[in-house]
Structure 1
């Protein structure tokens, strides 16, 4: 019996519509896109659906907003997204290494304006602050600082983050991770990094600013990852 074609979420249809206009040159850098009301009428959807589509494109770097002016095509360089999101635990297993995690901090804080914007939530809302040192065969590979909504994941525990956070999301919460958007920046090591990685203080390393999205379009977390560049090579697969 033939399988029914999968339904495409309406917000994704709007995303693709806007992206196609950007890629074709119909929308140029700095140009205003159609208003929310025009998109609502064109696709017969709610304001929430339109906002979800444009929020995703803002988070991915394709669009930017100016309060009181509207939504513009971003003039910033677009960074390719990865097409295959793997947990650190699974990645190390494929390499024949044993992954382990040292939880350095795990607490609830109020979302700052900057982090609230990254998570697309109201500032001041409770969020998890998670700092972990990820290791392979007991060698430190990355220092990871994550922010997640407490409201969305009230049962997140210390035990969940000592292993694979993605496993908790997919097996405990029954949610599916769709993709991650990375911004890669070079930095010089801090004293903390030199201590954890036993790193040369004069050698630069890589920092990833990582936003992970679920298939629903919602943001799972925002994470800043500092890689031990002497031992861990960052790779990304760009979608066509």
Structure 2
């Protein structure tokens, strides 16, 4: 047993220790865990190793950080389980929460090479550049940056974006959303993200690169989502 234990990386041992304390109730929700210095001394490792362990648990939703205060056992989060393509508004309604959107930016720009490839448009085609802060019961959940073709959706307005974009597509335009393709990566927050979410600068966030398709095969939009992992846990369930 001792020989196999030596093969476990120190950061993983710290993760396991913290998880055992959470599951046993030794750490209560909302309460701080030991400091990095205490865990560093306990396991004879650097604070970088401790931070690796706690970063992993923050990303998985078990811990949260308060800037300048410490690391805490995370409170219950809003959890999204994406089995079908749903709007943020629909997801929050199903959870008994009220979704809202603050439009931070809405303008027409010329599509660069990356955006034109994502939307299957010619370079320099006019596209909407949309940035929204998505909230649930007034809590900031994600920052959404989207690109959509102006030619395909000439009647898109600020007012429609302040509500549900998917409702505009499905109820007003009578189009059917078929599926979306997404890639999820961890990122470190920028000053702007910290300003909106109030998160710790050392706490990782999740970024989702998402392309949504209609039933006719055309592309509805290309969106980049930055998720406030201290409040919103994104999950995807794959069905065979």
TM-score, normalised by the number of residues in structure 2? 0.65
Cα distance in 2 for residues equivalent to 1:237 and 1:217: 23
Match of 2:220 in 1: 220
1:80-113 superposed Cα distances (whole Å, 9 cap, x missing partner): xx65011101111111111111100000000000
Q: How does 1:1-240 map to 2 (within 5 A)?
A: 83-240=83-240
TM-score, normalised by the number of residues in structure 1? 0.65
User: Do the aligned partners of 1:84 and 1:237 also contact (CA within 8 Å) in 2?
Assistant: no
Cα distance in 1 for residues equivalent to 2:124 and 2:230: 38
**CA-based RMSD:** 0.8
Query: Across the two proteins, how many residue pairs are aligned to each other?
Result: 159
Using the TM superposition, give the Cα deviation of residue 196 of structure 1 relative to its aligned residue in structure 2, in angstroms: 0.1
SS in 2 for 1:102: strand
Where does structure 1 lack aligned partners over 5 or more consecutive residues?
Answer: 1-81
Cα distance in 2 for residues equivalent to 1:130 and 1:201: 25
Which portions of structure 1, spanning 4 or more consecutive aligned residues, are displaced by more than 6 angstroms? Answer: none
SS in 2 for 1:223: strand
Cα distance in 1 for residues equivalent to 2:148 and 2:100: 21
Using the TM superposition, give the Cα deviation of residue 197 of structure 1 relative to its aligned residue in structure 2, in angstroms: 0.1
- Answer 1 or 2: which has greater strand percent: 2
Using the TM superposition, give the Cα deviation of residue 237 of structure 1 relative to its aligned residue in structure 2, in angstroms: 2.3
Greater relative CO, 1 or 2 (CA 8 Å, sep 6+):
2
1:158-182 superposed Cα distances (whole Å, 9 cap, x missing partner): 1110011000000111100001101
